[in-house]
Chain A
Amino acid sequence: MNTPPDTRPLMRRLFERRSLDTLAPVPKFATYAILLAWTFVVLFPLYWVLVTSLKIQIQVDAGPYYIPFVDFTPHLDAWNFMLFQNNTLWPYMNSIIVALTSTILALLFGSMAAYALVRIRFQVKLAAIIAFIVLVIGVIVAVVEFAVPWQVAILAAIVLFFLALTSIGRRFKAALGNNDIEFWMISNRIMPPIVAVLPIYVMFQHLKLLDTQIALISTYTAVNLPIVVWLTRDFFAGIPLDLEESAEIDGASKFRVFFTIALPLVRSGLAATFMLVLILAWNEYLLALFLSNANAQTMPVLVSAQNTTRGPQWWYMSVLIVIMIVPVIVIAAFLQKHIARGLLIGAVKG
């Protein structure tokens, strides 16, 4: 390199860059300083959790100790207890099973629905929707006010629904199209879980599925479906139509086209969506709190359970937080580039 010496006046030398792909000294220093400062802000709480997991009660109560071996002696008591004595494996397995299964299901159903909404034209009659809502209200009123057994009520409602479809449906033609269906699916995310959780609790109670993995898996899938539809819809809209059309000309059914052509084409976007939904399902607390007890307990609830009547047991909690976050970090480190790109595409087209 034959870069001649910088002969510009001092202010220019400090603040103005030399070429387009470098930074001037002062902005460079400021940039690194701020980024490193935020790195500290991000990592310090996590460091504190790690350090707390190596403490015993006296050490935590006595005041802050910062560095193991330097200002306090670390103990593996909390780790020992949590990993080997306490029944931590059960909630951990529950978390893994529930998170993985619900993510896969949400991805499967959501991407299928998104693909159909992008490639196939739908027309849902307004009359059908109104009839549906009226019948649901009817079922609820019947079960609650008039003590009709819920199986009978639902059966009657289904029959009435089809009757209504065939009669009223013929008269009123007003219909909702693809955009409205998409909007409905995605807008379900706005609904606060607290509104839905009580009736869901009652529903599972009647089905004798309370405190089971199935209850959690199905609820998590439902809660995360809107996100999957939102993101994958744009991925599918972005792939060229010719590949699918040529496959259909060759005789492939729409399902085969979906699984063998469309899905593989959007796999990096699917990876991003998978990661995002996995994080959400892995960390879900409120629904697990309501719908599970001892049997289907998941990690977030276990973390919160370390807050006993004697006060939070920080050392145990810290161990749990650490073992909760490590697998997620590992997976995310692999997929971090995909996550940003996937969210970007979903965000631009909305």
Chain B
Amino acid sequence: MPYLSVNHSAFCNTGRYMAVNVSIPNETDRRERVAQWVDRHSGRIMVLPAVLILLAFAIFPLIASAYLSLSRFALAAGSFKLTFIGFYNYTRLFLGVQQYHFLGTFKPFGPLEWTLLAGVMLLLAAWLSRYALTGFTPLGFAGRLITAGLIGAVWFVVLATAVAGGIPGTLLNTLLYVFVGVFVQFVLGLALALLCAQPIRSRSWFRVIFFIPVMVTPVGVAYIFRMLADMQKGPFAPLSHFLGVSQWSWATEAWSARLMVLIGDTWQWTPFMFIVLLAAVENQPRDQLEAAHLDGAGPFQIFKDITWPTIAPVAATVVLIRLIEAFKIIDMPNVLTAGGPGLATESLTLHSFISWRTQDLGGSAAVGYLLLFVSTITCVSFFNFVVRYTRRYQ
């Protein structure tokens, strides 16, 4: 009986609705349809702003820069002229007049260099063949081949310049900052995190204070360290007088200059590692820790068996984040030493920047692209071989 009455009123309603329809245009209907269309395409609409922004500010410049790197830029008659010159900008960085700048000054190999080269080549070959024999996929092998190729090529350059007594170029400087810098920052950050995770008071205070360096603008940090490193007028002047080095300028020697850049970089970015690693250490599974304590494990055993495996995925990811950012380093070397002495502290970004300043836009774009190339291979390799490995238990 209720069912019938619903039907009945629906019939009546329809009649009333249709009467209304005739006199007023169905605006609600149109709004309803627009709303439904929006909802159906909501996925695309939500993604659209981000995609458009990235297309305009990332993809387009990327392609434009690629084109630029294949051309020669020349100012002409109030505007500019771009002439297509193929890969010339690149070849001169590897084999031509700019080789000293990018790769470095080569010296001939001695027996030491040959042995080291052979050793690394053998290791890489072993790694590749092990993959080829267990679970081979074409894409995986191609990826590993690229990674091995880059490692081998970089190692060759390292031997030919740094080890054989030559002068490293901007590529090696950048790799030094990236790998040594990130490694030191990681070790320091982990040590601080482990200490801060102990049962101590004022942990929050340490957390806030240690985080401050990350928040200072990098160019500011660079100037701060230039101030601090002044051997005559800086705060360590009495110390340098005492040690008898006050007349020596660290900026005149390649390795001391590089060290200063690394110190400044470490000061600024260790806190980043610290904050994330501290959160990871604090999030260790308490029951496993208690079980290990009951079983009689000492602090080193607990670190090896519980802490390290638990934080490994987070550690790998935070190292990856830092690697990505470290490749772009420019403020510290530019402000501290303007890339000097010579090119001892010049990073790839700084190299590109200097080329831009000298109107060599094509060369600048080429260096930038090579940086992108090296950076991408390194970061993707790191992700595939390290980050994924640490997540194998999840």
A residues apposed to B, CB below 8 Å: 20-23, 27-28, 31-32, 34-35, 38-39, 41-46, 48-49, 52, 60-64, 66, 108-110, 112-113, 115-117, 119-122, 132-133, 136-137, 140-141, 144-145, 181, 185, 187-200, 202-203, 218-219, 221-223, 225, 229, 253-255, 258, 279, 282-283, 285-286, 299-300, 303-304, 307, 312, 314, 317, 320-321, 324-325, 328-329, 332-333, 336-337, 339-341, 343-344, 346-348, 350
Contacts and interface: CB of A to CB of B under 8 A. Distances in A.
Interface of B: 35, 38-39, 42-44, 46-47, 49-51, 53-65, 67-68, 82, 84, 191-192, 195-196, 198-200, 204, 206-220, 223-228, 232-238, 267, 271, 275-276, 278-280, 283, 290, 293, 313-314, 317-318, 321, 324, 327-328, 330-331, 335, 348-349, 352-353, 356, 361, 364-365, 368-369, 371-372, 375-376, 379-380, 383, 387, 391
Contacts of B376: 187, 190
B223 A312 contact: yes
Contacts of A337: 204
A221 B380 CA distance: 24
Contact of A343 (B38, B234, B237, B276): B276
A158 B228 CA distance: 55
Contact of A192 (B54, B206, B238, B349): B349
Interface of chain B, helix or strand or loop or mixed? Answer: helix
B195 A109 contact: no
B215 A332 contact: yes
A92 B40 CA distance: 44
Contact of B60 (A199, A221, A340): A199
B82 to A, nearest CB: 5
Given A116-B47, A200-B61, 15 more contacts: A27-B198, A45-B225, A52-B227, A61-B233, A64-B235, A113-B47, A113-B51, A116-B43, A188-B54, A221-B53, A254-B43, A299-B217, A340-B279, A347-B276, A350-B387
A46 B63 contact: no
B47 A190 contact: no
Contacts of A145: 82, 84
B276 A191 contact: no
Contacts of A221: 53
B352 A185 contact: no
A7 B375 CA distance: 59
B211 A336 contact: yes
Contact of B232 (A38, A63, A202, A347): A63
Contact of B218 (A62, A253, A285): A285
A60 B349 contact: no
Looking at chain A's contact residues, is the secondary structure mostly helix, strand, loop, or mixed? Answer: helix
A343 B322 CA distance: 13
Contacts of A188: 54, 58
7 contacts: A42-B212, A116-B46, A132-B55, A195-B65, A317-B220, A320-B220, A348-B313
Contacts of A196: 57-58, 61-62, 65
B63 to A, nearest CB: 5
B217 A285 contact: yes
A194 B368 contact: yes
A347 B275 contact: no
Contacts of B204: 336-337
Nearest to A195: B368
A136 B318 contact: no
Contacts of B293: 20
Nearest to B319: A347
Contacts of A199: 60-61, 64-65, 68
A198 B227 contact: no
The 4 closest A-B pairs by CB, nearest first: A222-B57, A120-B43, A199-B64, A113-B50
B161 to A, nearest CB: 23
A198 B357 CA distance: 12
A333 B208 contact: yes
B68 A300 contact: no
A350 B394 CA distance: 12
A223 B57 contact: yes
Q: Kindly name the residue among B209, B219, B353 whose own CB sees the greatest number of chain A CB atoms within 10 A.
A: B219
Contacts of A66: 235
Contacts of B237: 63-64
A332 B371 contact: no
Given A60-B233, A112-B46, A23 B199 contact: yes
A286 B192 CA distance: 31
Contacts of A341: 279
A298 to B, nearest CB: 10
Contacts of A320: 220
A299 B225 CA distance: 19
Candidate in A28, A108, A191, A300 with the most chain B CB atoms within 10 angstroms: A191
Nearest to B58: A188
Contacts of A23: 198-200
Given A198-B68, A347-B318, A22 B199 contact: yes
Contacts of B283: 344
B200 A324 contact: no
Contacts of B327: 190, 192
